[in-house]
Amino acid sequence: MKTGQIQKLKVNRISDYGLYLADEEQNEVLLPNKYVSLADKVGDEKEVFVYHDSEDRLVATTETPKIKAGEVAYLKVVDRSIHGAFLDWGLAGKDLFLPNRNQQGGVIIGHSYLVYLYVDNITGRCVATMKFKAFVDNDILTVKPRQEVDITIASESPIGYRVIINNRHWGMLYKNQLFRPVSIGEKLKAYIRRITDDNRIDVSLQQEGYAEVRHSAETLTALLHENGGFLPLNDDSSPEEIMRLTHMSKKVFKRSLGMLMKRGEVEPVENGIKTINRK
């Protein structure tokens, strides 16, 4: 039974309290009646999230949490006790515990913080921590240059943003690589730009080289379609105006426009560009 994870379990038996689901080793967990339908029957497969409820009993839910074991997320503090804080992780009736020992500098109710979710070895419960050292590092890398990855914005510095890559590694997103605003806790798709000899990782929100231009050309085509085949942009447009309308740098916009013009898909007109209608 994988605590803190979404998994598929089979209905083993039906009780007055709900469905008892079992894994391959016949370990059972209760799916309460509020997540059960009259159509459910023994042998059916259910996709559920397994965790401990407020009475410390293992229970299943069909709700999708904001964070699962082995992931990071930006969660709001909804309550505190002498032992720690409680976070909203998207499950009704049960908050995620953030012990005092796992906090960095204390937390405030109503504020959000970046946390990692792990399963406690002794209790088996899902626990949050703001201390990432044991879970996020660059000792042994699992990514390579140009690879598409998932990132979470962790913190801001004068030169850019520190990010967590695939919930496993630290990386850097430099401000001179940014062509749109980002915020702490935001999850994005990104690309590995560079890995240094000492395993530092730089990321970009855009692909580089031909792949970047091809992707941006497709974006430009979609924008033209959405705006009736016309965009009030050309080579003389300001970088700011291009960014506002397309979320591209001027350099990428010009290269993408050149690709579309070479294909015969768009043409320059007065005050902008338009799609060429093909008969």
Sheet containing 230-231: give its strands across: 230-231, 272-275, 266-269
Looking at every residue in the chain, the average pLDDT score rounds to 91
pLDDT band at 210 (very low <50, low <70, confident <90, very high): low
pLDDT band at 212 (very low <50, low <70, confident <90, very high): low
Give the pair of three-digit tokens for residue 130.
């703001």
The structural domains of the chain, ordered by start, are: 6-61 (2.40.50.140), 72-129 (2.40.50.140), 148-204 (2.40.50.140), 210-275 (1.10.10.10)
Q: What is the mean pLDDT of residues 192-212?
A: 84
pLDDT at 278 over 80: no
Q: What is the mean pLDDT of residues 101-125?
A: 94
The pLDDT assigned to 118 comes to: 97
The pLDDT assigned to 80 comes to: 95
Q: What is the mean pLDDT of residues 224-231?
A: 90
Report the run of H or E that residue 155 belongs to, with start and end: strand 148-157
pLDDT digits (tens, 9 = 90+) for 180-201: 789 999 999 999 999 999 999 9
pLDDT band at 176 (very low <50, low <70, confident <90, very high): confident
pLDDT digits (tens, 9 = 90+) for 42-95: 999 999 999 998 888 899 999 999 999 999 999 999 999 999 999 999 998 799
Give the integer Cα–Cα distance in Å for 250 and 68: 39
Q: What is the mean pLDDT of residues 204-215?
A: 72
Taking the CB of residue 251, how many other CB atoms lie within 10 A of it? 11
What's the whole-model pTM score? 0.77
List, in sequence order, every beta strand (DSSP E) within 53-137: 58-61, 72-80, 84-87, 96-99, 112-119, 126-129
Where do runs of H (alpha helix) occur along 123-228? 210-226
pLDDT digits (tens, 9 = 90+) for 243-269: 888 877 788 888 888 888 888 899 888
Cα end-to-end span (Å), the chain: 60
